[in-house]
Structure 1
Amino acid sequence: MKTINLAEKLALFDSHWDPKVVADYNDNDIMVVKFQGEFPFHLHEDTDDFFLVLEGEMLMDIKGEASHPVSAGELFVVPKGITHRPRAAQECKVLLIEPKGEPNSGDPTTAAAKNRI
């Protein structure tokens, strides 16, 4: 048990769309990531997708719907099976919660590695 400073963890890397595991919670990875630009449309068949914006603003695009703006201090949950993509015009810092082993792209062949920092 220890305190984890998210700002310190986010300062350790500059890459975008590259989630870093900072803690474990039950069978989930707690991760921080920086977004800038667009992530490809994708879906997760078996799990919801959790996003908490720590700094900046992102847009969550849902196929067939208007974009949803998500600002610092707000969270957005995409239900399983829904095609979506996060995007950010300017760098945005986000906390993610995903089941261990869940690929961030929904597809293991295109997923970023989940490295621990």
Structure 2
Amino acid sequence: MPQPISPAAEAERLDEYWSPRVLAEVDDAYIKVAKVKGTLAWHAHADEDELFYVLSGRLKIELEGDESVELGPGEMYVVPKGVRHNPVADEECRLLLIERKTTLHTGDVVTEMTRSIAEQLGASPP
């Protein structure tokens, strides 16, 4: 029998920061959740937009050109393709992300926090 998914509950169960988990697929996009704290990395996705939706906490998305967007619970922002950005959370923040399946975690850079799509598709923690 089909079961509903609670993105907030799934994000709460994550035990590693900046390590998104795929919850579902919609056409050519993945629906993901992540638990974040601190800074990820300045990066861009040349061919894909990236949607950030805050489930809990606060997220600042630094954008090229000394701009930034601050999001609270229930707010979202789409980073347009090609725009350099850096997500930052001073305190723990839980996110829902919508990205095309081709979107690399840290775009055009690789850091120790970069997660492959295989890692993101891993089973949710028990």
Q: Same fold (TM over 0.5)?
A: yes
Residues 42 and 108 of structure 1: is their aligned pair in 2 closer, same or farther, counting only changes over 3 Å?
closer
State the SS of the aligned residue for 1:46. Answer: coil
The aligned residue for residue 46 of structure 2 is 45
RMSD: 1.6
The aligned residue for residue 88 of structure 2 is 87
The aligned residue for residue 22 of structure 1 is 23
Structure 1: 5+ residue stretches without partners: none
The aligned residue for residue 9 of structure 1 is 10
Structure 2: 5+ residue stretches without partners: none
Aligned residues: 117
Give the whole-Å Cα distance in 2 for the aligned partners of 1:35 and 1:74. 16
Say which of 97, 112, 116 aligns to 2:115: 112
Residues 18 and 66 of structure 1: is their aligned pair in 2 closer, same or farther, counting only changes over 3 Å?
same
Greater alpha carbon shift after TM alignment, 106-115 vs 39-48: 106-115
Q: Which structure's residues are more often helix, by fraction? A: 2
Q: Which structure's residues are more often strand, by fraction? A: 1
TM-score (norm 1): 0.91
TM-score (norm 2): 0.85
Give the whole-Å Cα distance in 2 for the aligned partners of 1:69 and 1:91. 14
Give the whole-Å Cα distance in 2 for the aligned partners of 1:54 and 1:11. 10
Query: Alpha-carbon deviation of 1:108?
Result: 7.7
